Amino acid sequence: MSEIERPQTYLITPPELDLESFPTLLASVLDTQDVACVRIALSTQDENQIIKACDALRDVTSPRDIALVIASHVRMVEKLGLDGVHLVDGARSVRKVREELGKDAIVGAYCAGSRHDGLNAGEAGADYISFGPVGQSPLGDGETAEIDLFKWWSEVVEIPVVAEGGLDEENLATLSSISDFVAFGPEIWNADDPSERLKSLVACLG
């Protein structure tokens, strides 16, 4: 793969949403920066809450021609008119989900820091591979996706790669030429002004 010019921006929702205010907040962020994709990543397993969130956020992303995917809930994709699904089990379910959703749906696979899982997910039909966290995080097992993994992937593999988790000014500058997408979640939503925080982080990409 030739050197990546500049990663595209990908947003991950907070795990809990106030549907009275978050769609407006999301719209203001999307109108500030170019965003390629939004991932609905809710902690709830309540079907009605998930449906309401998807409907509300689709009303924001669709008019802006921004892809909307959901984490894990494969059956919601066609039911709610979403663009695809983000799988969190590496390569294990990619092939089955690809067959179920068809060739036009987006199927992404989170593979933590495993090159092996990433390659297998790509071979099984994933549209992109997500590695992370890139920076230290109090969540998970403390393991990180090494920068060398992104360097190797960008040189050898054609499947787009997403960097997510623990993104900051320092690692974004390094990732700018070796990642196709950078995915921001708490990095912006925990800020007083998510739009300004996103703007400042994107500026680190060159």
User: Residue 1 has what pLDDT?
Assistant: 36
| Number of domains the chain contains | 1
In a domain, 39, yes or no: yes
Would the pLDDT of 195 be above 90?
yes
Give the model confidence (pLDDT) of 172-181 as tens digits. 999 999 999 9
Distance between CA atoms of residues 39 and 62, nearest Å: 13
CATH number at residue 65: 3.20.20.70
In a domain, 199, yes or no: yes
**Residue among 205, 182, 172, 193 at smallest CA distance from 11:** 182
Its domain, for residue 49, covers: 8-203
In a domain, 3, yes or no: no
In a domain, 2, yes or no: no
Would the pLDDT of 143 be above 90?
no
In a domain, 148, yes or no: yes
In a domain, 1, yes or no: no
How large is the average pLDDT for residues 25-53?
A: 97
